[in-house]
Amino acid sequence: METLAMHISNGIIDGPVAAVFAVIALAAMAYCVMRGRQDLDDRLAPMAGLVAAFLFAVQMLNFPIFTAGVSGHLLGGALAAMLVGPWVGALCVAVVLVVQALVFGDGGVAMLGLNITNMAVIGIAVAYLLIALLLRVLPRSPAGLAVTAFVAALVSVVVAAMGFVLQYQLGGTTDLGGNLAGLAGTMAVSHLFIGIGEGLITATTVVTVAKVRPDLVYALRALKPVASATAPTVGGVR
Does 169 participate in binding other proteins (rule CB under 8 A)? no
Q: Site residues for other proteins, window 126-165 (CB under 8 A)?
A: 161, 164
Q: Considering only residues 183, 196, 200, 222, which one is a binding residue for other proteins as defined by CB under 8 A? A: 183
Q: Considering only residues 18, 25, 29, 40, which one is a binding residue for other proteins as defined by CB under 8 A? A: 40
Q: Considering only residues 26, 147, 162, 186, which one is a binding residue for other proteins as defined by CB under 8 A? A: 186
Q: How far is CA 233 from CA 134, 137, 184, in A?
A: 21, 19, 47
Does 77 participate in binding other proteins (rule CB under 8 A)? no
| Cβ neighbours around 70 below 10 Å, total | 14
Does 58 participate in binding other proteins (rule CB under 8 A)? yes
- Give the x/- contact pattern for other proteins in 198-237, rule: CB under 8 A: --------------xx--x---------------------
Does 53 participate in binding other proteins (rule CB under 8 A)? yes
Does 69 participate in binding other proteins (rule CB under 8 A)? yes
Amino acid at residue number 75: L
Q: Considering only residues 27, 102, 181, 226, which one is a binding residue for other proteins as defined by CB under 8 A? A: 102
Rank residues 217 and 219 by Cβ distance to other proteins and give the closer one. 217
Q: CB 203 → other proteins: shortest distance, Å? A: 17
